[in-house]
C-alpha cells in the first residue's frame, strides 16, 4: 500500500469539494435559525418519525430544518470518506490525527444538534433560556470549528501545500504568524459571541446603528442581551483593526506570496460586507435575508483568514520536501 505524502489529485479535489459543501450546510443552518425553524420537528434523529416527513417540501420551516438535517448527513458521510482515505494513503501522523478529530467532531456536532431539539422543553430560569438553546449556541460554535478543521485537511492535501509552493517564498516572520493567530482567534470569538446573541434573541437589543437609541456610543441601560450585543459590536471594531494590521505585515513580509496576499484582500472585502450586513440587520428589523447572509459571510471571513494563517505555519507543521 502506498502511504506517502505525495500529491493525490483525487483526495485533494474530494476534500476541496467537501469544503464547498460545508458552506451549504452553514447556509441552511443560518436560514433555519433566522426564520426560527430550529424546532420545526420535536424529535431527532428522524423528523416526525420519518426521513421523508410530510410537508417538508411545502412548508418553509419544515423545509429549512429537514434540509439542514439531510445536508448534515451528507457532510458526515463526506467527512468519513476523507478520514478513511487519509488513513489508508497518508503517512503524515498529524494529518491522520486531524482526520480522526474531524470525524469525532462531526459526530459530536450531530449529537449536540440532536440535544438542542430533545432538551428544548427544559427551561433554565437562572439564564432565562432553555437547555435546547444552550445546545444551539454550542452547535453554532462547533460548526465554525468544523469549518476550520475541514479547511486544514483540504489544504494539507493540496498541491501547493505538499510541494511547498504557491503560498510561501521563505520563512515567515514571527509578527506575521502572531497576527494571523490573533485574527483567527478574534474571528472565532466573534462568531461564538454572535451565536450566543442570536440564540438569546439579542439581535435587536440595541435597535439602532452605529449609535445607541440615545445617540451615544454606550447604552444607557444594560442587561445580558444588551451586553452581549454591545460585545459583538466591540469585537467587530477590534477585528477590523487586527485584520488591517495583518494585511500590513503580510505585504511587508517577503516570504508571503501574491496568492496569500490576494486571499487576505478577499477576507478584508468579506469583512466590509459583513459589517454592512450587520448594519442592515438593525436597519431592516432583522431581515431574514440580511441575517442569513451575515452568518454565511462571517463563516467565509473566518475561512479566508484561517487559510492564510494556516499556510504561514506550513514550515513548522511540515518541512519542505527536498
Give the per-residue pLDDT at 34: 94
Cα angle 311, 232, 125 (rounded to 5 degrees) comes to 120
pTM of the full predicted structure? 0.93
CA–CA dist 303, 307 (Å, integer): 6
Which residues lie closer than 8 Å to 18 by C-beta, 6 or more apart? 75, 78, 79, 82, 150, 154
Distance set, CA 267 to CA 129, 272, 318 (Å) = 34, 9, 25
Nearest to 13 by CA among 164, 156, 153, 158: 158
CA–CA dist 146, 191 (Å, integer): 13
pLDDT tens-digit profile of 81-126? 999 999 999 989 999 999 999 999 999 999 999 999 999 999 887 7
pLDDT tens-digit profile of 43-77? 999 999 999 999 999 999 999 999 999 999 999 99
Confidence category of residue 3, pLDDT binned at 50, 70, 90: very low
Give the per-residue pLDDT at 2: 40
Which residues lie closer than 8 Å to 92 by C-beta, 6 or more apart? 5, 156, 318
| Range 299-303, long-range pairs (CB < 8 A, 24+ positions) | 299/23, 299/26, 299/143, 299/144, 299/147, 299/191, 300/23, 300/270, 301/187, 301/267, 301/270, 301/271, 301/274, 302/144, 302/147, 302/148, 302/184, 302/187, 302/188, 302/191, 303/23, 303/147, 303/148, 303/151
pLDDT tens-digit profile of 129-176? 899 999 999 999 999 999 999 999 999 999 989 887 655 666 889 999
* pLDDT beyond 60 at 322: no
CA–CA dist 48, 297 (Å, integer): 32
Give the per-residue pLDDT at 289: 96
CA–CA dist 222, 218 (Å, integer): 10
Confidence category of residue 235, pLDDT binned at 50, 70, 90: very high
pLDDT tens-digit profile of 14-37? 999 999 999 999 999 999 999 999
Q: Are 296 and 192 in contact (CB under 8 A)?
A: no
- Give domain limits for the chain: 1-163, 165-322
Confidence category of residue 1, pLDDT binned at 50, 70, 90: very low
Amino acid at each position: 500500500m502506498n502511504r506517502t505524502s505525495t500529491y493525490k489529485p483525487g483526495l485533494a479535489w474530494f476534500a476541496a469539494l467537501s469544503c464547498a459543501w460545508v458552506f451549504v450546510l452553514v447556509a441552511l443552518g443560518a436560514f433555519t435559525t433566522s426564520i426560527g425553524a430550529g424546532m420545526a420537528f420535536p424529535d431527532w434523529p428522524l423528523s416526525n418519525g420519518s426521513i421523508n416527513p410530510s410537508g417538508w417540501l411545502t412548508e418553509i420551516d419544515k423545509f429549512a430544518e429537514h434540509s439542514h438535517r439531510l445536508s448534515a448527513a451528507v457532510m458526515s458521510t463526506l467527512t468519513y470518506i476523507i478520514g478513511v482515505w487519509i488513513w489508508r494513503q497518508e503517512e503524515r501522523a498529524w494529518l491522520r490525527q486531524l482526520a480522526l478529530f474531524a470525524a469525532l467532531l462531526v459526530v459530536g456536532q450531530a449529537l449536540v444538534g440532536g440535544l438542542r431539539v430533545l432538551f428544548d422543553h427544559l427551561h433554565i430560569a437562572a439564564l432565562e433560556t432553555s437547555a435546547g438553546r444552550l445546545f444551539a449556541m454550542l452547535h453554532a460554535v462547533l460548526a465554525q470549528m468544523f469549518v476550520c478543521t475541514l479547511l486544514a485537511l483540504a489544504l494539507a492535501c493540496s498541491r501547493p501545500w505538499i510541494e511547498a509552493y504557491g503560498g510561501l517564498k521563505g520563512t515567515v516572520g514571527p509578527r506575521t504568524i502572531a497576527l494571523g493567530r490573533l485574527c483567527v482567534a478574534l474571528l472565532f470569538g466573534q462568531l461564538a459571541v454572535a451565536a450566543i446573541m442570536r440564540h438569546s434573541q439579542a439581535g435587536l437589543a440595541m435597535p439602532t446603528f452605529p449609535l445607541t437609541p440615545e445617540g451615544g456610543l454606550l447604552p444607557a441601560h444594560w442587561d445580558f442581551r444588551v451586553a452581549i450585543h454591545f460585545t459583538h459590536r466591540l469585537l467587530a471594531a477590534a477585528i477590523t483593526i487586527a485584520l488591517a494590521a495583518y494585511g500590513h505585515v503580510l505585504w511587508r513580509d517577503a516570504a508571503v506570496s501574491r496568492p496569500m496576499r490576494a486571499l487576505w484582500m478577499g477576507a478584508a472585502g468579506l469583512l466590509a460586507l459583513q459589517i454592512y450586513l450587520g448594519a442592515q440587520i438593525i436597519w431592516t428589523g432583522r431581515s431574514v435575508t440580511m441575517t442569513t447572509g451575515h452568518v454565511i459571510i462571517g463563516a467565509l471571513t473566518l475561512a479566508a483568514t484561517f487559510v492564510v494563517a494556516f499556510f504561514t505555519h506550513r514550515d513548522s507543521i511540515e518541512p519542505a520536501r527536498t
